A and B are shown apart, each in its own frame.
Chain A
């Protein structure tokens, strides 16, 4: 039974990683694409329609970035819980020496870096077009 639980946790960790990767990549790609579109709109002649389109894209950036940030925070928490369960299991089995508990701290730092990357690409995608305009 313990092997089934172990497999389940490993499977959950894999799903968690994939979900987080999708959040990060989607947010960064969207930020960069929107940066290009809005910069193009901003550099052309000022027009009400273009301004509305620009603000619509800004709203999209804000929503997608917040969703990505929340998703990443949840992903980090989920990974922490799963790894705690895994560590406990290893302790019970007497093999905890093979897994360094400090890895959990590294994961936290990695998630924070991902969140900062998403946040800063989002900020650049918002500000640059307004500087150009």
Chain B
């Protein structure tokens, strides 16, 4: 009976002692998580773009962490001669759990040939950075190569006629 009384009397004392010795920040602190994600919306992957014209793509930036992210700047790794503009071009503050859509205007250079082109978009903040990429395709290239083909074909026909007339007579 005496021992039971002693335990009841000591328990609050031990609890108070722990609270005084260990700082409350350590006891109740939540782990700070900084997580920024950047992704293209699905329909803007492998999208056809037209050289020399505005082609708007949309991407989403999301703060998946529990801490606000500040001063997010956008940049891109693009083929030579291409112009990429972001709207907004920077985000000063993105609170935890929130997201924002960013318009990406891509202008491929006029002399871009037919093919597939990879673009990488970067979001760099004070706390972290994120990247995403997309593949864009150009279907209509300049007609330069068509003329090269026609020229070569004309050359072959002319050569054939010359050969036929020259060797055919002998």
Residues of A within 8 A of B (CB): 42-46, 58, 62, 65-66, 69-70, 73-74, 77, 115, 119, 122-123, 126-133
In the bound complex, residues from chain B placing their C-beta under 8 Å from that of A43 are: 114
Contact present for B157 and A123 (CB under 8 Å): yes
Which residue of the partner chain B has the closest CB to A69? B163
| Interchain residue pairs A-B with the least CB separation, the first 6 | A130-B149, A45-B115, A46-B113, A133-B145, A73-B167, A127-B149
What are 18 A-B contacts defined by CB distance under 8 Å?
A45-B113, A45-B115, A46-B114, A46-B141, A62-B155, A69-B164, A70-B167, A73-B163, A73-B164, A73-B167, A115-B164, A123-B153, A126-B153, A127-B149, A128-B149, A131-B146, A133-B114, A133-B146
Q: How far is the CB of A71 from chain B (nearest CB, A)?
A: 10
Q: How far is the CB of B7 from chain A (nearest CB, A)?
A: 78
> With the chains together, A65 CA to B163 CA distance in Å?
11
Taking chain B's interface residues, is the majority helix, strand, or loop, or is none over half, making it mixed?
helix
Contact present for A133 and B164 (CB under 8 Å): no
Complex partner residue of A126 from B115, B152, B164, B167, CB under 8 angstroms: B152
Question: With A70-B163, A70-B167 known to touch, is A129 a contact of B115 (CB < 8 Å)?
Answer: no
Question: With A69-B163, A70-B163, A73-B167 known to touch, is A133 a contact of B150 (CB < 8 Å)?
Answer: no
Taking chain A's interface residues, is the majority helix, strand, or loop, or is none over half, making it mixed?
helix
In the bound complex, residues from chain A placing their C-beta under 8 Å from that of B170 are: 77
> With the chains together, A126 CA to B156 CA distance in Å?
9
> With the chains together, A62 CA to B159 CA distance in Å?
9
In the bound complex, residues from chain A placing their C-beta under 8 Å from that of B159 are: 62, 66
Q: Does B127 contact A (CB under 8 A)?
A: no
Q: How far is the CB of A76 from chain B (nearest CB, A)?
A: 8
> With the chains together, A60 CA to B3 CA distance in Å?
104
> With the chains together, A129 CA to B149 CA distance in Å?
8
Contact present for B150 and A127 (CB under 8 Å): yes
